[in-house]
Structure 1
Amino acid sequence: MKKRHIAYCALLMVVVLGACDRKPKRVGVPTHTLNWTGSDVARVMIGPIDGGEPGSSPNERPLGHNEVPPIGFQAESCCADLPFEWHPNLQTTVRWSRDSMPFNEQDRTGYEWLTATVKIPPWQRGGGDLMVVILPDDKIKVIVAEPGINWDVLKVRPPENDPYVAKGTVMLDLTRSIMSHETWAAYKRKHNLPADIDARLDKAASAPAEAP
């Protein structure tokens, strides 16, 4: 009986030590918004990544005259909830507002909400800061930098054929909700929206949510 008890304790110790050696399943990391555009970027919301909690990324001002892009390395928010290790087809949905005419007080039709679902490229060593990269033409990329990375490598604009760059689409319902009646009317004329767009948006808003 004593030998059996010793053997059981030894087995339990192996199990406990093995558990101590396991990597954590998830990690929280700081977020940054890297802005390559002349638009003001705000309210960047990061959707759940692989079942984690949603997060956010800082607002970021437009590029200034003769300023070297991108800007946004200094500002950070907490946090993005990541799996400790990357796996294929990892993705998230990002929503953000951008103002393409941030200094035009007479015309506020440049303020829009956008959304894009983006695949996240691989990282190797547990994951460091998360970067939401805002590109011209309403394009976006999400990068998880590795701990100890030389940040200069992130100051290179992604190529046009980058498979991890996604094109954002305007969310007309949210865009309408942030505009005055006069601005929304001007926005509809500017973008030649169909005459029944308000009825369509109202119908979509009143439709029951799809079952999970």
Structure 2
Amino acid sequence: MSGLMRRAMRWGALPGRMTVGIAGMLVLLACQTSPEMLSAPVTGYNHTSATINSFTINGSGGPNLGPNLAGGGEVCCAVLPRDWRPGLKATVMWEKDPHPGESVNWPPLGTDAYREAYRKHATKYTQHRAVVDIPQYGEKVCALQVHFLPCDQVRVSTTCYTPSNPNYPDREYFQMKDSAACPIL
């Protein structure tokens, strides 16, 4: 911890501008890597009717993703080896709400009845883990894109293209539909 942060903790609350400045420096430092590693923002795409409450890729967090969402927000940062090598893998872990529409008619937010309804609903959340290949990349990785597909399948991409670009390599994911019956793996 820096001397400035130790002094700030000893002094108590920091003035607003100083707090914002320190927070900004910490965010920038969080994405710094060693010379052998590089950092890349994480973007998620949910191609299912479930909500992805949270996910991580190799321990780096990703944004919450609503159902049937074309794309989620970007967060910083995943860390990858600077030089890609065959067999490079990523571990993706996620929590899924398979019934996101059930909360439509809940009691008012903040009430005991709401908290009880949420507690009951949260028991239906499921936890998942997949180890997936990281496709070959060059000297630059624009984003580590995580695609949540039907039947709890996951794919990772390192392309610099966005889904609206005709050269985007994962366009077929946006055509996938949830299946009533998933194959047992």
Query: Shorter-chain TM-score: which interval?
Result: 0.5 to 0.7
Specify every segment of 5 or more residues in structure 1 that has no aligned partner in the other structure, as ranges.
Answer: 1-23, 48-53, 64-69, 161-166, 170-212
Count, aligned residues: 126
Specify every segment of 5 or more residues in structure 2 that has no aligned partner in the other structure, as ranges.
Answer: 1-34, 104-116, 177-182
> Does 2:89 match 1:91?
yes
Q: 2:54, 2:65 within 8 Å by CA — same for their partners in 1?
A: no
- In structure 1, what is the equivalent of residue 66 of structure 2? 61
Listed as ranges, the matches of 1:27-176 within 5 Å are 27-47=38-58, 54-63=59-68, 71-73=70-72, 75-105=73-103, 108=121, 110-146=124-160, 149-151=161-163, 152=165, 153-154=168-169, 156-158=171-173
Q: Distance in 1 between matches of 2:77 and 2:133?
A: 19
Runs ≥4 residues deviating over 3 A: 105-110
Q: 2:50, 2:98 within 8 Å by CA — same for their partners in 1?
A: yes
- Could you say what the CA RMSD is over the residues aligned between the two structures, in angstroms? 2.9
Q: Distance in 1 between matches of 2:134 and 2:170?
A: 18
The secondary structure found in structure 1 opposite 2:86 is coil
TM superposition score normalised by structure 1: 0.52
The secondary structure found in structure 1 opposite 2:102 is coil
TM superposition score normalised by structure 2: 0.59
| Higher-Rg member (1/2) | 1
- Offset, 1:155: 5.3
Which of the pair has the greater relative contact order for Cα pairs under 8 Å at 6+ separation?
2
- Offset, 1:111: 1.6
- Offset, 1:33: 0.6
